[in-house]
């Protein structure tokens, strides 16, 4: 196998992942009218932004969101997991196909921003087609 081909393919894959991540950032920032920190993965890992995004798309899709407080600025892992699970449940209810859903650890451990991007893109696609149909 040609090592140049392998390296070129890897570079293309990284470029595609970077583009997906930037699209994810722009999508969230434009909908929630906020600026996310440079490290997108860490700003999503507690599930708060993701839950707010789902609620922006469909109000009350996530009934309860655990948010940090001034007294406790960092959520416990249990509360982060609950937020992430609520986000994924809301995605399911809004019609995101199971094969497009990321897993909780992709968000919680910042291990799969590309998979999170695919989930969010599927959510946006699913809800934009339904909004057109029902208006």
* CB 23 within 8 Å of CB 115: no
CATH number at 37 reads 1.10.418.10
Instruction: Determine the Cα–Cα distance for residues 81 and 122; give it in Å rounded to an integer.
Output: 21
Tens of pLDDT along 103-121?
999 999 988 888 999 999 9
- In the chain, the number of structural domains is 1
pLDDT at 2 > cutoff 90: no
The pLDDT value recorded for residue 113 is 87
* Residue 12, C-beta contacts closer than 8 angstroms, at least 6 positions apart: none
Percent helix, strand and coil across the chain, each to the nearest 5: 70, 0, 30
Count CB atoms within 10 A of the CB of residue 58.
Answer: 15
Structural domain harbouring 43: 3-134
Instruction: Determine the Cα–Cα distance for residues 117 and 35; give it in Å rounded to an integer.
Output: 17
Minimal CA–CA distance to 120: which of 16, 50, 58?
A: 50
Q: What global pTM score does this model have?
A: 0.85
Tens of pLDDT along 8-42?
888 898 888 888 888 889 989 999 999 999 888 88
């Amino acid at each position: 196998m040609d090592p140049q081909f392998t390296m070129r393919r890897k570079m293309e894959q990284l470029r595609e992942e970077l583009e997906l991540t930037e699209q994810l950032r722009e999508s969230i920032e434009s909908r929630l009218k906020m600026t996310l920190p440079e490290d997108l993965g860490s700003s999503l890992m507690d599930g708060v932004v993701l839950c707010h995004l789902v609620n922006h798309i469909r109000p009350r899709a996530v009934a309860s969101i655990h948010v940090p407080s001034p007294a406790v600025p960092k959520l416990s892992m249990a509360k982060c997991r609950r937020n992430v699970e609520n986000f994924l449940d809301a995605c399911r209810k809004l019609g995101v196909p199971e094969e497009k859903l990321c897993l909780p650890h992709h968000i919680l451990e910042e291990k799969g921003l590309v998979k999170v991007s695919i989930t969010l893109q599927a959510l946006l696609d699913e809800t934009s087609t339904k909004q057109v149909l029902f208006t």
